[in-house]
Amino acid sequence: MDAGITWKNLAGLAAVLGLASLWIGNAPANDEAIFPMPRSKTLVNECGSCHTAYAPGLLPARSWRKMLTELDRHFGEDAGLQEPLRLALLKDLEDMAADGAFADQRMRRIAGYIPANAAPQRISETGYFKFIHDEVPKSFWQRKAIGTPANCIACHPRANEGRYGEREVRIPQ
C-alpha cells in the first residue's frame, strides 16, 4: 500500500480545511450575546412596532405569561391583541423563554438568577441586565437618542434579531 502524497489527497485535505475554517469563522464568539428569536414575525411585527422586540430568552416564561395577560395595561398603554394572536405569541415567548424548551446555557443562567416567585416585567431590572451594563455610565441613559435602558435598539442595532453582541454595540452621541 502506497502512503505517498497525491494531488487527490492534497485537494481533499484543502477542501476539509477550507470548510472547517468557514464553519469556525461563522461561529459566534463567546462574548456575543445572540438569543434565538421566533421564526414567526409576530413578535417583531406586534411588539416591535412600539418598542424593541425583546428576545424571549431575556425573561422566564412566567414573566411573559404575566405580561401577556396584562396587555390592556402594558406599561401604561393598551396593547391588547386578538386572542388567537395573543396565544400564538405567548407560545413563542414561552418556548424561547430563559427557562423554556429551547433555552441555551446563557438563557438558563439568566433564569437561574431570577427568584422562582418573581416574574419581572422589565428586562432592565434583572440581575443579568445590570451585570452586563455595569460599566455603562448613568449619563448615557439620559442621552436623547437612548432615553431609557429599555431602548435596547438605540445601542444594539440588531436587537430585533436577538443580537446583543458587544462587538455590534453603537452608542449614540
When comparing pLDDT for 10 and 22, which is higher?
Answer: 10
Q: Left, alpha or beta for 126 (phi > 0: left; psi -120 to 50: alpha)? A: beta
Residue 11: pLDDT band (50, 70, 90) is confident
Which string of DSSP letters, residue by residue, matches 8-67?
HHHHHHHHHHHHHHHHHHHSPPTT--B----SSSHIIIIITTTS----GGGS-HHHHHHH
What would the mean pLDDT of 27-32 be, rounded to a whole number? 49
Among 6-10, 15-19, 78-82, 156-160, the range scoring the smallest mean pLDDT is: 15-19
The parent domain of residue 129 ranges over 42-168
Q: Is residue 22 part of a domain?
A: no
> Is 36 part of any domain?
no
What mean pLDDT comes out for the span 26-55? 80
- Is the confidence at residue 1, as pLDDT, over 90? no
Instruction: Classify burial at 88, counting beta carbons within 10 Å of its beta carbon; exposed 0-12, middle 13-18, buried 19 or more.
Output: middle
Question: What pLDDT score was predicted for residue 143?
Answer: 95
Gap between the Cα atoms of 10 and 59, Å rounded: 50
Q: Is residue 75 part of a domain?
A: yes
Q: Can you give the pLDDT at residue 71?
A: 94
Q: What is the pLDDT of residue 25?
A: 45
Number of domains in the chain: 1
Q: Would you state the pLDDT for residue 119?
A: 96
Residue 35 lies in a domain: no
pLDDT band at 53 (very low <50, low <70, confident <90, very high): very high
Considering the domain boundaries, does residue 139 fall inside one? Answer: yes
Mean pLDDT along residues 37-64: 92
- Global confidence as pTM: 0.78
In a domain, 140, yes or no: yes
Whether 82 is in a domain gets the answer yes
pLDDT of 166 strictly over 70:
yes
Percent of the chain with pLDDT over 90: 69
